[in-house]
Structure 1
Amino acid sequence: MLLKNATILTMNANRDILTNGAIAVQGNRIVALGKTSALEARYPSEESLDLGGKLIIPGLIDTHVHLAQALIRGCADDMALIQWLCERVWVLQGNFTHDDGYVSARLGIAEMLRSGTTTFLESMLAHRYGFDGIAQAVQESGIRACLAGIVMDIGTYATQTNSMHPGMIESRDTSLLGVIQMHDKWQGAANDRLHVWFGPRTPGGVTSELYREMSEIAHQRQMGITMHLAEVEADKIYLQEKFGLTPVDYAESVGLLGPRSVLVHMVWLTSAEIEKLAATGTHVSHNPSSNSKLASGVCKVPLMLERGVNVALGCDGGPSNNDYDLIREMKMAAILHKAVTLDPLIVPAETVLEMATINGARALGLDHEIGSLEVGKKADLVVIDLARLHTTPAINPVSTLVYAATGGEVDTVMVDGQIVVRQGRLLTMDEHEVMREANQHANMLYQRAGIDLKPRWPIS
């Protein structure tokens, strides 16, 4: 297929922007990029898609997603994190069935594809969500995914003892060995669109011995590890009181640092800890909307970037962000640090787009395959229609994309050479069916959990 007559943000090493550009795709690979006239002459008989001046970007990469939380979107708005977890999120997730897990995954994946995310890193799939069903949802949808299965052996959160809902507690054998079984079964499935990672709970939910055991297995199997760390001050306090260590020093002591690790949130860090992240090649997933909404604090992204840490971007989940739209998340990442530092030049639009594309690919160990539009790479791309009132004029397409666009402007999405969204319509799933099933399962879930969620204002 030839996608032609477009402006192309390649995100290659030179960050070239092609006007009147075209991309030739054969199988699941990009075989040529250039001016439309040149590629039309080179591929005269190929099926072509005339994009009429629309924008093409690499598929967006969300490095922190909770698929199960799509079904509980908005369940705990305007609550502090510990209360948010212990009274709402864990109670609902602790009542999940495998069917709920599948339905919630389809809802989250559908939203991601429709808003331009072609690859995501799921952070911690509990056994009760049904890993097989969620992997099946990935396979059916056409998206690319790294699915991290939960690892834990303690039912606490940082300084909060006996805080976890019983339905969320798993043993070493259920969690660790379960993830290994899923890695044997699903790693490389769906034409290598599906990878299996470890997703251990935050310190306080995992013994140091289990962290070390998991880290060794991950090294042997070359598996990725992703974990929430230093999200709230309670994390830092817990590790200092129990181990006398900072969050990053503790992570190092149990084998969690390195180029196959994506640590999430990372708000409560010192400069020395950031230096250690850079020295070890450990990646960070920045979640500005979630951290802001839950009042967790602000990640020191400018300092991380200055010190050479690879920082990617994540939306988090339905209760902490309320959407899985990475284009909207880009704007938040670009403006938050300006407000905090009083520097309008800090973290510009170009840097944020890097975080959502090539930096995300690097964090997942896939930058040789995705994250930029280059010959030989996999054909994961997004077409965006900027001919809208709120994105006109679009003189600088990078700034317009980051500061003015939303996922609603996504026109076409290709993953692994297959078009999965065309002219704003999802081709691999029935959106109405996805929403209908999500509403049905959400209602039953709230009833099982005994939670009656109502607006604060009177209803008549």
Structure 2
Amino acid sequence: MTRTAPVALTVVDALVLPCADDGPEWFFGWLQVGADGRIVGLGPGEPPADVPAGEVLDADGAIVAPGFVSAHSHLFTSGLRGIAPDSTLYPWVRSMMELFRHTDAEDMYWASLHGATDFLVNGVTSAYNFMQSGVTWLYDPRTARNVLGKVHPDDYTTRQMDGVLDAGLRVVHSIRLDDESGPEDQVLTRFARMVDAARDPSRTAGGQLLGVSVMGAVQWASDPRTAELEVLVMREHGISDQAHFVETAEGLDVQREKFAWYAEAGALGRDLLLGHFVHPTDEMVDAVAEAGSPVVWQPTSNGRLGSGVADVVRYRERGVPVGVGLDDQSCTDISDPWANMRQGLYGQRALHRDAGVMSPRDVLRMHTLGSAEVLGVADRVGSLEVGKHADFVVVDHRSPSTGPVWDVVATYVLACGLRNLRATYVGGRCVARDGRATVVAAARADAELAVRIERAAHADGRRLAVTAEQLVDAAARRAR
């Protein structure tokens, strides 16, 4: 492909893995980035000799591939890795929500910034982010009802937006409607304020905002009106909705019954994404396939929480679009997209007892371009193509060595991992290198998070195994 605009950065001597549907699957060559952070050219061999190269990044034969897209994430949970380690979904969620009753807006800023920089350090450049609700709910699975924990001010939500954007991650902000927390007019007015805040020009510079969405809450709701109101705000604000659905085997009959609430409200369709979708009935799969609703798959999270194995092969055979997410740091623990791909790939092969049901190419596409497609942002991210944001990773498959390369895609998916990741670029700008984020605020994030989460834990009557003081002191010693 040829250059179409002035060049700010030229990547040379790269093993390029575009993850695009058109063109070669891989090639040794170059990639160029314009001043606006978008790809202006790429191709095999050497870049055009008559074009000023701008800054030059010599990949020295390493793999250059698109940054991963996490189509389902909860970045505010970055301080809760290892929490409730032997729990299934409902007690695990309860453990987190009891703690978050004791957090404020600045706590959520640092938790979100920490989670977003963690994604970038691990090669994820775009994420659908379920923000912690402006209302802390304590769900009771015995009654299938929410118990109101605490109502927070607006900045509890908006500071989460700021934390993700300050880290440099591209994001779809997902906002819960919280319709059961008060009169409908007040709930809708607050939701509209949050949508406006997300779209404020001060928060959209640089193309980091990919969109706004509803955090679908029917799984937790007590009345079909929740589905109706979600459809109302989807249409009023021109946004999507992603719902956690039939994620766990706990209370499965109640979960399945609530699917009809979405169907009867007219929610099914391209703009209603179904997160997890581990335990649907045949009728639910038929309805989703007919309506074109995408499914978003979290293989590592589903394993960590003992939720089950979603039959993604079955969904894809029915023509259901599928994206992939890393979910919470508190239930995926390590935000490792390579491990996430392998967990999913191997689980599907084991489920079907057939290694041919899903390939490394399939799962790589789902975690990049496929995730971008289900989020409706594939025109901007998900693959290395002219006109898209120059969001990419530099992965050295030779250090540590993965050995001879029989198949480039198979080596990348099956043999590479975080140990091979050298750098992450967003818009042609390096945001992480050798396991460290480059954003200035990242230097404070570890200490801020440790102190703030410990304070919330103490307020809830809990103690951490390693204190914030011990963590901060250890980090300071390493830095000296």
Q: Which TM-score applies when normalising by structure 1? A: 0.88
Say yes or no: does 1:413 pair with 2:424: yes
- How far apart are 1:49 and its partner, in Å? 0.8
Aligned residues: 434
Residue 45 to residue 294, structure 1, CA distance change in 2 (3 Å): closer
- How far apart are 1:40 and its partner, in Å? 3.8
| Structure 1 unaligned spans of 5+ | 155-168, 456-460
Q: Distance in 1 between matches of 2:379 and 2:431?
A: 22
Letter in 1 for 2:161: A
Partner of 2:212: 196
Choose from 147, 168, 191 the match for 1:179.
191
Three-state SS of the structure 1 residue aligned to 2:328 is coil
Partner of 1:158: none
- How far apart are 1:413 and its partner, in Å? 1.8
Q: Distance in 2 between matches of 1:17 and 1:388?
A: 23
Q: Distance in 1 between matches of 2:465 and 2:272?
A: 39
Letter in 2 for 1:191: G
Does the 8 Å CA contact 2:213/2:242 hold for their aligned counterparts? Answer: yes
- How far apart are 1:333 and its partner, in Å? 0.9
Partner of 2:129: 122
Does the 8 Å CA contact 2:122/2:435 hold for their aligned counterparts? Answer: no
- Which aligned pairs between 1:290-369 and structure 2 lie closer than 5 A? 290-369=301-380
Say yes or no: does 1:144 pair with 2:155: no
Does the 8 Å CA contact 1:152/1:172 hold for their aligned counterparts? Answer: no
Partner of 2:44: 35
Partner of 1:226: 242
Choose from 183, 201, 213 the match for 2:229.
213
Say yes or no: does 1:374 pair with 2:385: yes
Three-state SS of the structure 2 residue aligned to 1:450 is coil
Three-state SS of the structure 2 residue aligned to 1:389 is coil
Partner of 2:28: 20
Q: Distance in 1 between matches of 2:182 and 2:77?
A: 18
Residue 254 to residue 396, structure 1, CA distance change in 2 (3 Å): same
- How far apart are 1:292 and its partner, in Å? 1.3
- How far apart are 1:12 and its partner, in Å? 1.6
- How far apart are 1:18 and its partner, in Å? 3.4
Residue 56 to residue 235, structure 1, CA distance change in 2 (3 Å): farther
Q: Distance in 1 between matches of 2:354 and 2:107?
A: 45
Three-state SS of the structure 1 residue aligned to 2:329 is coil
Partner of 1:98: 105
Q: Distance in 2 between matches of 1:171 and 1:324?
A: 38
Q: Distance in 2 between matches of 1:306 and 1:148?
A: 29
Partner of 2:10: 2
Partner of 1:71: 79
Does the 8 Å CA contact 2:76/2:131 hold for their aligned counterparts? Answer: no
Letter in 1 for 2:168: G
Residue 202 to residue 400, structure 1, CA distance change in 2 (3 Å): farther
Three-state SS of the structure 1 residue aligned to 2:327 is coil
Choose from 384, 388, 392 the match for 2:395.
384
Residue 433 to residue 397, structure 1, CA distance change in 2 (3 Å): farther
Residue 179 to residue 325, structure 1, CA distance change in 2 (3 Å): farther
Q: Distance in 2 between matches of 1:453 and 1:119?
A: 31
Choose from 89, 103, 117 the match for 1:81.
89
CA deviation profile, 1:395-446 (whole Å, cap 9, x unmatched): 3232222222223422222223333224554211454421121211121111
Partner of 2:267: 256
Residue 176 to residue 268, structure 1, CA distance change in 2 (3 Å): farther
- How far apart are 1:146 and its partner, in Å? 0.6
Residue 273 to residue 186, structure 1, CA distance change in 2 (3 Å): same
Q: What is the RMSD computed on CA atoms of the aligned residues?
A: 2.2
- How far apart are 1:454 and its partner, in Å? 5.1
- How far apart are 1:48 and its partner, in Å? 1.3
Letter in 2 for 1:199: M
Q: Distance in 1 between matches of 2:184 and 2:50?
A: 57
Residue 416 to residue 426, structure 1, CA distance change in 2 (3 Å): same
- How far apart are 1:239 and its partner, in Å? 4.6
Three-state SS of the structure 2 residue aligned to 1:130 is helix
Q: Distance in 2 between matches of 1:66 and 1:111?
A: 12
Of all paired residues, the percent bearing the same amino acid is 25
Q: Distance in 2 between matches of 1:174 and 1:15?
A: 51
Q: Distance in 2 between matches of 1:55 and 1:182?
A: 40
CA deviation profile, 1:146-178 (whole Å, cap 9, x unmatched): 111112344xxxxxxxxxxxxxx6775665433
Residue 69 to residue 209, structure 1, CA distance change in 2 (3 Å): same
Does the 8 Å CA contact 1:152/1:206 hold for their aligned counterparts? Answer: no
- How far apart are 1:368 and its partner, in Å? 1.4
Does the 8 Å CA contact 1:123/1:227 hold for their aligned counterparts? Answer: no
Residue 408 to residue 441, structure 1, CA distance change in 2 (3 Å): farther
Does the 8 Å CA contact 1:150/1:175 hold for their aligned counterparts? Answer: no
| Structure 2 unaligned spans of 5+ | 1-8, 135-151, 467-480
- How far apart are 1:254 and its partner, in Å? 2.3
Q: Which TM-score applies when normalising by structure 2? A: 0.85
Q: Distance in 1 between matches of 2:189 and 2:158?
A: 15
Three-state SS of the structure 2 residue aligned to 1:183 is helix
- How far apart are 1:298 and its partner, in Å? 1.0
- How far apart are 1:288 and its partner, in Å? 1.0
Letter in 2 for 1:4: V
Does the 8 Å CA contact 2:131/2:160 hold for their aligned counterparts? Answer: no
- How far apart are 1:365 and its partner, in Å? 0.6
CA deviation profile, 1:108-132 (whole Å, cap 9, x unmatched): 1111001110100112431148222
Does the 8 Å CA contact 1:150/1:176 hold for their aligned counterparts? Answer: no
Does the 8 Å CA contact 1:390/1:405 hold for their aligned counterparts? Answer: no
Q: Distance in 1 between matches of 2:422 and 2:183?
A: 44
Three-state SS of the structure 2 residue aligned to 1:122 is strand
Three-state SS of the structure 2 residue aligned to 1:319 is helix
Partner of 1:164: none
Three-state SS of the structure 1 residue aligned to 2:332 is coil
Say yes or no: does 1:400 pair with 2:400: no
